[in-house]
Structure 1
Amino acid sequence: MEHLSADLRASLRLFAFYLANGTIDVELLDEVDYRSTVFHSGSSLEQVFAIYGNVLRVDVDAMVLNDGDAQYRVAQWIRACCDPSYRVEPPFEAWETELHFEGRALPPPESVRDALGRARTTSSATRATTSPNYVATHPHPGRNRAAPFTDDALPLA
């Protein structure tokens, strides 16, 4: 069995880095400290990684095609959990939020279903334009990045 490509490993690593650092999609989540919500229970963190993995696409060479889109969908789910007035557009489709175990899709836990119910029935809020100073020193990969990650592009953790 092959290992994951360096590009895919970099995407996973940076996703975890931005998530733990509180900088997933800083425009959508500006001034929202979501970490206590996401890290409060394993179910929330599990759902975050499920959405990221379900939305993430790779090409035939295992190069990541839509890291920014996958992170944005996660940010929308997080925002809906932290801000009940936030409306997700477009609403999540079932395949985006499926949890998988041994190749089978499982229904999400009840606490996650409640958040998903809010996220699926809502429309987008106005995006904030200010970002923390962190972005200046650690650029976010951005939506639909075209170039693959290289080792010299990775921030030091």
Structure 2
Amino acid sequence: MRLPSGVSGAIRTFSYFMSSGTHYMLEGVDYIDLYGSEPSAIELCYAIFANVLEYDEEGNVTNLKHAEKRATDSIRAYCDSSFSVVPAYEDWEIELH
């Protein structure tokens, strides 16, 4: 079974804005250099995005902004030690599969 097009589209769009350094939830955060120097930070961000993303029976993503927020908060916290993720991540959100 393939991913629904809505899910693959959400992943593709998220990837584009993350890798271009233009994700609006990370405005003012200098994170683009993490792609070459801190791959585990990027890996965790994508794991959170994938773990939190939900879709309905028709394949429509139902919580895109929430999944993006949870994922981008990990990058913000990584780059800014004064930033706290609220609520704290649950174990299932940060699990690497």
TM-score, normalising length: structure 1: 0.57
8 Å Cα contact 2:48-2:94 kept in structure 1: yes
Using the aligned pairs only, state the percent identity.
36
In the alignment, structure 2 segments of 5+ residues that lack a partner are none
- Paired residue for 1:106? none
Q: CA deviation at 1:37?
A: 2.3
Distance 1:78 1:84, change over 3 A: same
- Paired residue for 2:17? 18
Aligned pair 1:42/2:42, yes or no?
no
Q: CA deviation at 1:69?
A: 0.8
- Paired residue for 1:31? 28
Larger radius of gyration: 1
Structure 2 counterpart of 1:44, which letter?
A: A
Q: Which has the higher helix share?
A: 2
Aligned pair 1:57/2:54, yes or no?
yes
Runs of 4+ in structure 1 over 4 Å off: none
Q: CA RMSD in A?
A: 1.4
In the alignment, structure 1 segments of 5+ residues that lack a partner are 101-157
Q: CA deviation at 1:45?
A: 2.1
Match of 1:99, SS? coil
